[in-house]
Amino acid sequence: MRLLVTGGAGFIGSNFVRYVVQHAPDVQITVLDKLTYAGNRANLAGLPADRVRLVVGDVADAALVDRLVRASDAVMHLAAESHNDRSLVDPQPFIDTNIVGTYTLLEAVRRYDVRFHQVSTDEVYGDLPLRTDTDQSAHDAVFTAQSRYQPSSPYSASKAAADLLVRAWVHSFGIRATISNCSNNYGPYQHVEKFIPRAITNILTGRRPVLYGDGRNVRDWIHVADHVAALWLILQRGEVGQTYLVGAHCERSNRSVLAAILRAMGRPADDFVTVKDRPGHDRRYALDNSALVRDLGWQPQHRNFDQGLAATIDWYRTHTSWWQAGKAAVEAAYGQH
């Protein structure tokens, strides 16, 4: 199989490429990546050159995309602007990459009848109420593949728009596409702008980690290795036109995640700063993963969040050269919002 992986030099994309190289010896991979601030050649270091090649370019470049899609059997589409905080400062690249880029790929897969998978987010569904002791409906609420799209941020709105394009291209043009909506990933190679790596690398550089608002917001964490295994399964065995929700039933408040990081890194429990909340900050995400489990037999392997977190902390400890150069600039940019 000739597989085109967009965004393959990013966090999830590079974990996906490594997974496929390990598990599917007959797959040739072309990575199309613009190498934005979030993409990094080093994420693909050490992979066999005869199996993986990197093309530096834009998913919204129609001529380039046409050429690469024509020479592929399948496309795993991960390229995106992925950070909510950035989308609140400058939404333009989110429109260009996430919406126009996806449209560009869809037109190419339509022309050449190439199998397509859209990697998306649970954030397209908006947010859920926080659980309380008294409100059973809040307790039971989770997103399902039938939940209504009601995104809150420019980032999630751009991903929702892209997903809807995919659904329409399946419906109107019969393209062979699937969509997955995954919850919050953590693990190696995640950019230090994101909550968990930011907190870890703040501590490693003598800064205090940062908690937004009251810290009661809940995210449903999944190890990136479990997400990429699901993506490979869906690409091979998923039913065209289906949406699969990818989550590992690991809801944690931000406050409790930060407490676990501080504990694991030997810092006092109160050694963090609180800043004003992210505008429009979604309260809670949680996913019903039953279609993926029932129909495709997927099961998360990294079920112990504390162990996964400890391994992630170790990874950032032992890979300082991977993140150190960009760290100060990320923190300086945060300082300006």
Please indicate whether residue 314 is annotated as part of the active site.
no
Measured at the alpha carbon of residue 284, what is the angle toward residues 279 and 288, in degrees to the nearest 5? 140
Looking at the chain, list the stretches that DSSP marks H as alpha helix, in order from N- to C-terminal side: 11-23, 62-70, 84-89, 92-93, 102-112, 136-140, 154-173, 195-204, 224-237, 254-264, 290-296, 305-318, 320-336
Residue 212 interacts with ligand DAU (CB under 6 A): yes or no: yes
Residue 103 interacts with ligand NAD (CB under 6 A): yes or no: no
Query: Least distance (Å) from ligand NAD to the CB of residue 39?
Result: 2
Tokens standing for 116? 């397509």
Of residues 2, 35, 42, 135, which one binds ligand NAD by CB under 6 A? 35
Considering the candidates 33, 58, 81, 123, report the single residue annotated as catalytic: 123
Tokens standing for 303? 């079920």
Residue 121 interacts with ligand DAU (CB under 6 A): yes or no: yes
Residue 82 interacts with ligand DAU (CB under 6 A): yes or no: yes
Query: Least distance (Å) from ligand NAD to the CB of residue 34?
Result: 4
Considering the candidates 33, 58, 81, 122, report the single residue annotated as catalytic: 122
Of residues 40, 72, 183, 289, which one binds ligand DAU by CB under 6 A? 183
Gyration radius (Cα) of the chain, Å: 19
Phi, psi of 150 (to 5 degrees): -150, 70
Which of these segments, 79-87, 166-174, 272-280, 315-323, binds ligand NAD (CB under 6 A)? Answer: 79-87
Are the C-beta atoms of residues 155 and 87 closer than 8 Å to each other? yes
Of residues 84, 87, 104, 185, which one binds ligand NAD by CB under 6 A? 185
Measured at the alpha carbon of residue 303, what is the angle toward residues 226 and 209, in degrees to the nearest 5? 90
Query: Least distance (Å) from ligand NAD to the CB of residue 310?
Result: 19
Please indicate whether residue 123 is annotated as part of the active site.
yes
Task: Tell me how far CA of residue 282 lies from CA of 255, 301, 306, in angstroms.
Answer: 15, 27, 24
Residue corresponding to tokens 């003598």: 206
Query: Least distance (Å) from ligand NAD to the CB of residue 135?
Result: 27
Alpha-carbon gap, residue 44 to 48, rounded angstroms: 9
Residue 12 interacts with ligand NAD (CB under 6 A): yes or no: yes
Of residues 33, 58, 122, 127, which one binds ligand DAU by CB under 6 A? 122
Contacts with ligand DAU by CB under 6 A lie at 82-84, 121-123, 183-184, 194-195, 198, 210-212, 217, 219, 254, 278, 285
Catalytic residues: 122-123, 155
